[in-house]
Chains A and B, each alone.
Chain A
Amino acid sequence: MKKKLSSYLGALAAGAALLSMTACGGSATATPASEAAAGITVEHAQGSTANVPVNPEKVFTFDLGVLDTLDALGVEPAGVPEASYPASLSKYADAKYEKIGSLKEPDFEAVSAGAPDLIIISGRTAGAYEELSKIAPTIDLSIDAASPMESFKDQTKKLGAIFNKTAEVDAKLAGVDATIAATKAKAADAGKGLIVLTSGGEVTAYGAGSRFGLIHDVLGVPTAADVKADGSHGESVSFEYIKQVNPDLLYVINRDTAIGSEAAGANPVLDNELVRSTNAAKNNKIISLDPAAWYIVGYGLNNVEAMVNAVADSVA
């Protein structure tokens, strides 16, 4: 305990040092931003932002989905949140990318000192829009849970326009569309699916229209139960419920491994007599979805491809 504390104090001191260093750096890079050509207007979840620079030099983003898309497009943001990065984005944990807060809470001082040309936020940081707008042009690329795929494509195209990568975006999206179509064709006869999230020994179920609804809504896996649609929170269920619903495909997101670096192994929560008696267990169709991809990153250009492929494999 004591050791932990002292290491945190050390980290705090290092953070303070870093902050003062980045503050100096910020004033040095302030000039090129003002030289940028007149920006474009971008419509987004919280209105429209008029002065978005084209090909902005210094981009800060709090959304790992956006980060994933930028990464796929070969754009390197300068500022990213402090987070436990999944393998696909692990390089952003490096200190050379400015840490501008957590996934949910911007560190306004760090953002301000960093003097970004563009800030991209999303649902988790949507509340900070006003504050961040005062620092730099800010756009909110939240995914609309009601129609996530359209929303995702829309956001990605906006990013394509901002970074002059329209052609790449279109090509990538066409690829994703093709996989979706192929998956959809197979999913229709692959049996009924149920999506559950396990956390701290308990189980919540998600249905169509939820944050993991992509599986039903977009990829066409029939639902095993009509779980009430609800954006980000599932319904607390018992194991009896899972047995009663008896899904042919059980999609599992283990939140407890989403956070650690441990590889997701067998899920002890679902390893019980009731779950073992479902069709999904009998046919070996309990599918462990990568928690980082589904729970943390979400809608990013590479990540959506990975998510779609995971479901495609399950219905193959």
Chain B
Amino acid sequence: MTTTAVRTVAPVSRGRARQYAGLVAAAAVVLALAAVSMFVGVSDVSLPALLAGDPAAVDIFWISRVPRTLAVILAGMSVAVAGLIMQLMARNRFVEPSTVGTVESATLGILVVTVAIPTAPILLRMGVASVFAVIGTALFLAILRRLPTRNTLLIPLVGIMLGGVIAAVTTFFAYRFDLLQTLSNWMIGDFSGVLRGRYELLWIVAALMLVGLLAADRFTVAGMGEDFTTNLGLNYNRTMRLGLVIVSLISAVVVTTVGAVPFLGLVVPNIVSLLFGDNLRRAVPWTAVFGAGFVLVCDILGRTIRYPYEVPVGMVMAVVGAILFLVLILRKRNA
């Protein structure tokens, strides 16, 4: 669907140089946003105060601001990359972990732990959520393999239906156990609870994302089907398993630490594709950078719209993401 995307006609070497320059510029913008993010908050933290070593400001900076900014960047990058991997594996631009049942399964996992062991430590929650996410995603991929056609719209529809069924089961049990409100807290991503000591597990997803980035080409090949993959000398099942585990773990860890971040895995890879075409080598770093930037902007907005109160980042993202996506699609059609 994106084969008509903008293509640079410049010679390869010049194009590549320009692309690197662009990427460096984009990374600089993200760093600037990160800097802004570190100075937005309820407490008084200013650069002069920090440099002067004001203990109160330094404390807040290290306890609250730096962890939050890091959490936003880590979650933003990894969820966007997870979306990209999912799209490569399903060979469809309309799927992402929150539309194929991965996030819903992870949430069901958290619910099961919460009901069974209310005092479960976060690592156990994450573990169970990950197992559920793997099962849910595997189920989607298994259904996908049995679909008679690879219709562009059928695949996301199947994913949405599967996600809907899992979400319905989750909602039913949440309702039964009076956990509906708690459930909605998990389903709406929110960084307001992030502090030093409460986000570090997100570094796990950074490592996973790196593996995913390095193996991105393989997922493209695996997306072409088992025979094709085997012909190219790649172990199909192993590649699919790797992708499955990476996407599921990223989703599960992010949902347990900050909640679901909607749209990200769908919007960012699509924007990258609209802007730079379907060259995967090019898309992968851009996806990570855009993902981080997108969530940073939304979180800064969420913290300032109703200052000193917060609007959960998940809500801001749903609105901003939808608008951004519409604008891009409409502009492309006019061009």
Q: Which residues of A contact B (CB under 8 A)?
A: 1, 4, 8, 84, 199-203, 205, 228, 235-241, 243-244, 255-256, 258-260, 262, 269, 272-274, 277
Contact = CB atoms under 8 A, between A and B. Distances in A.
A291 B184 CA distance: 19
Interface string B163-184: 0000000000100111101111
A301 B192 CA distance: 37
A244 B181 contact: no
B182 A238 contact: no
Residues of B contacting A: mostly: loop
B199 to A, nearest CB: 11
Contacts of A203: 192-193
Given A203-B193, A235-B306, A272-B198, A244 B182 contact: no
Nearest to A1: B112
A237 B181 contact: no
B192 A273 contact: no
B197 interface: yes
19 contacts: A200-B181, A200-B184, A202-B185, A205-B309, A236-B310, A237-B192, A238-B193, A238-B303, A239-B192, A240-B60, A240-B64, A241-B42, A243-B42, A244-B308, A256-B182, A259-B182, A272-B198, A273-B197, A277-B59
B139 interface: no
B127 interface: no
Contacts of A273: 59, 63, 195-197
B169 to A, nearest CB: 9
A272 B197 contact: yes
Contacts of B303: 238
B64 A201 contact: no
Nearest to B303: A238
Interface string B297-317: 000000100101111100000
B195 A260 contact: no
Residue from the set A205, A235, A239, A272 with the largest chain B CB neighbour count within 10 Å: A239
B43 A272 contact: no
B324 to A, nearest CB: 24
A259 B119 CA distance: 14
Nearest to A235: B309
Nearest to B178: A259
Contacts of A205: 309
A4 B173 CA distance: 10
Contacts of B310: 235-238
Give the top 5 A-B pairs by smallest Cβ distance, nearest first: A200-B185, A235-B309, A259-B178, A200-B182, A240-B42
B309 A239 contact: no
Given A235-B306, A240-B42, A202 B64 contact: no
Given A235-B309, A238-B64, A244 B198 contact: no
Residue from the set B43, B112, B303, B309 with the largest chain A CB neighbour count within 10 Å: B309
B219 interface: no
Given A236-B311, A241-B42, A243-B43, A255 B195 contact: no
